[in-house]
Amino acid sequence: MSTLKKYDLQGLEQGHVKLDEKLISAKANGQMVKDYIVALQKNARQWSANTKGRSEVSHSTQKPHPQKGGGRARQGSIVAPQYKGGGRVFGPKPKFDQHIRINKKERQAAIRFLVSEKLRADKIHVVSDFNLDAPRTKSIVEFMKSQNLTGRVLFLGEGAYLDLPMEEGPTFSIGQDAHDNFIKSVRNIPKASFALVKNISGYDVLVAHHIVLTESALNELNEWLC
């Protein structure tokens, strides 16, 4: 098993952590990763664009003007497409069948490969924890400078979000409360974001230039992907 250096939020080295060999030597499957990312992007669409055709527009059945005698072209209804407020021809309709199902094993394999690529590029950094006594953006900025973290930086904590019924309250999270001060410190930093390990997608990993995670989150990632 290989190792990574572990730091604290002051940028001081705190030892090493072990990595599962499967996470390092994940085999490449470019087509699978591409299909997975494309599916994520398509599933993010709302598919809610909608227009009314001439049969759906509320209107009077009275003719716009008499059929004969006016010298104008005959017209049968004010909801014809050429009239203002008329029905739309070939307008967009909601497509409820456009969701692409992502296989659980394919998702894990794609994320495993993307994480492996970040490891080989030395773009993954481990810290002992995200504990802060109070929100302090300056501390996180100084840590990022000490580790030369530029571009998009994704911070990963342990835990996962759980959706609860509306009567029980809003979305609840296991692990987020423990990182509350850290989350408040990170959200003021441009191109920096925070997520929980079990809720990341391959797109999050793909677009991140650097990934910073706690030792507990790394162990959780090893267990989940390997």
Question: What CATH number should be reported for the domain holding residue 145?
Answer: 3.40.1370.10
Q: Please give the full DSSP string across 44-71, using - where no structure is assigned.
A: T---------TTTS----S-SS-SSSSS
Which residues, in sequence order, are CB contacts of 65 under 8 Å at separation 6+?
A: 72, 75
> Does 76 lie in the same domain as 36?
no
Beta pairing partners, 16: 5
> Does 198 lie in the same domain as 86?
no
> Does 214 lie in the same domain as 154?
yes
> Does 139 lie in the same domain as 38?
yes
Question: pTM for this structure?
Answer: 0.76
> Does 82 lie in the same domain as 24?
no
pLDDT at 186: 92
Task: Please give the residue range of the domain that contains residue 73.
Answer: 54-91
> Does 107 lie in the same domain as 22?
yes
DSSP code, position 208? -
pLDDT at 160: 66
Which residues, in sequence order, are CB contacts of 211 under 8 Å at separation 6+?
A: 115, 118, 123, 124, 125, 153, 154, 155, 156, 205
Q: How far apart are CA 217 and CA 214, in angstroms?
A: 5
> Does 33 lie in the same domain as 11?
yes
pLDDT at 169: 44
pLDDT at 161: 58
> Does 185 lie in the same domain as 73?
no
> Does 175 lie in the same domain as 84?
no
> Does 107 lie in the same domain as 86?
no
CA 165 to chain centre: 22
> Does 127 lie in the same domain as 23?
yes
> Does 205 lie in the same domain as 104?
yes
Mean pLDDT in consecutive groups of 10 residues from the start of the chain, 226 residues: 84 87 82 92 86 91 90 92 92 81 90 91 92 90 93 88 46 59 90 89 93 91 85
Number of domains composing the chain: 2
